[in-house]
Amino acid sequence: MDTDAHQPPRPIGHQKIELPKYRIPGEPEKYRLSAARLREFQHKSPATPIARAPTRYISALATNLTHNHPHVLHLRILSSTTALLVARCVAFLPANVQLWLKTVFVEWFLPDQAVLKIQKKDDEPEEGRDQESLDEGFDTEVKAYNRLQPLQGVVIPRCYGQLHYQGSRALLLERLKGVSLVSPEGFTLTLQELSDLLQPCHQALHVFGVQHGDAHLGNFQLVDGRIMVLDSEEAVFDSSAEEQEMFIRLNICHLAERYRDPQAYYRAVGQLEAA
């Protein structure tokens, strides 16, 4: 049997994508956050959802990450007496046994913060998508996280598993300590810096035969000097090497175009200033 038939295509040699020099008249070459933006603080009142994992219930304080995505919650996970007892008992076991338990029963060894991404429903404002399409999107994202497991925590968030929340499927994901590329904090890069960060990110996905299919700035987050990818509901699998190469160029040019104009806007409203 030909074992190579089911392997993702090996990416062809990538050349660095150089973007043309461009500056809006009257605007600086580079931006930074203004003092006014740095002083802003938005208070959010937490709720207390309970989600069901395979072997336990998880309680947490929850807030919406954004107005536009009510199905994505930021969780501050509440420790339970049972979870603390399990952690103390496991600490006495050999290291290899601890690693196995933390891999198989990850819900008992969660960090203090996480993100709960709940499957969308067709009665929510999601133009042009029925429930079957939303189900397929969730399944696609699960498949992408499984295939990209070696990249979890590096290029994509860690996935702690699938839960059930208020009758819907949900994914419990790593809470990234970074800034979204749609926030003022994310608009301090030059276009070439943006391109240089996006290229290795896409190339890493392509090694595993996954192509990120939703080129939107909100699906990328700047974390510790690198870009990480969110939202794989529209991922495409096992494209040819030529298709991958074309995708990277089109994707980066598209994102650079979307990145350019908001910098001037955020400067005009006092969120950014010339660096």
Q: What is the mean pLDDT of the chain?
A: 84
Helices and strands, counts by H and E, the chain: 6, 13
Domain boundaries defined on the chain: 10-40+178-274, 50-174
What are 222-264's pLDDT values in tens digits? 999 999 999 999 999 999 989 999 999 999 999 999 998 888 8
Which residues, 6+ apart, have CB-to-CB distance to 102 below 8 Å? 90, 108, 109
**Cα(72)–Cα(231) distance, rounded to whole angstroms?**
11
**Cα(247)–Cα(222) distance, rounded to whole angstroms?**
21
**Cα(22)–Cα(215) distance, rounded to whole angstroms?**
21
Which residues, 6+ apart, have CB-to-CB distance to 10 below 8 Å? 241
Flag the least confident range among 56-60, 177-181, 206-210, 248-252. 56-60
What are 114-167's pLDDT values in tens digits? 999 999 876 665 556 778 888 899 999 999 999 999 999 999 999 999 988 888
CB 74 within 8 A of CB 81: no
Flag the least confident range among 3-12, 62-71, 82-91, 101-110. 3-12
Position 190 pLDDT exceeds 80: yes
Find residue 196's DSSP bridge partners.
none
**What percentage of the chain has pLDDT greater than the value 90?**
43
Position 63 pLDDT exceeds 50: yes
What's the one-letter identity of residue 22? Y
CB 17 within 8 A of CB 195: yes
CB atoms within 10 A of CB 220: 25
Q: Which of 52-56, 104-108, 171-175: highest mean pLDDT?
A: 171-175
- Look at residue 61 in the predicted model and tell me its pLDDT: 86
> What mean pLDDT is predicted for residues 178-204?
92
Count the alpha carbons within 13 Å of 186 in the hemisphere toward its beta carbon.
Answer: 25
The matching CATH number, chosen from 1.10.3470, 3.40.630, 3.30.200, 3.40.91, for 50-174 is: 3.30.200
Position 217 pLDDT exceeds 60: yes
Q: Which two tokens stand for residue 73?
A: 């919650």
Task: Report if pTM > 0.85.
Answer: no
Position 12 pLDDT exceeds 90: no
**Cα(90)–Cα(97) distance, rounded to whole angstroms?**
8
- Look at residue 2 in the predicted model and tell me its pLDDT: 46
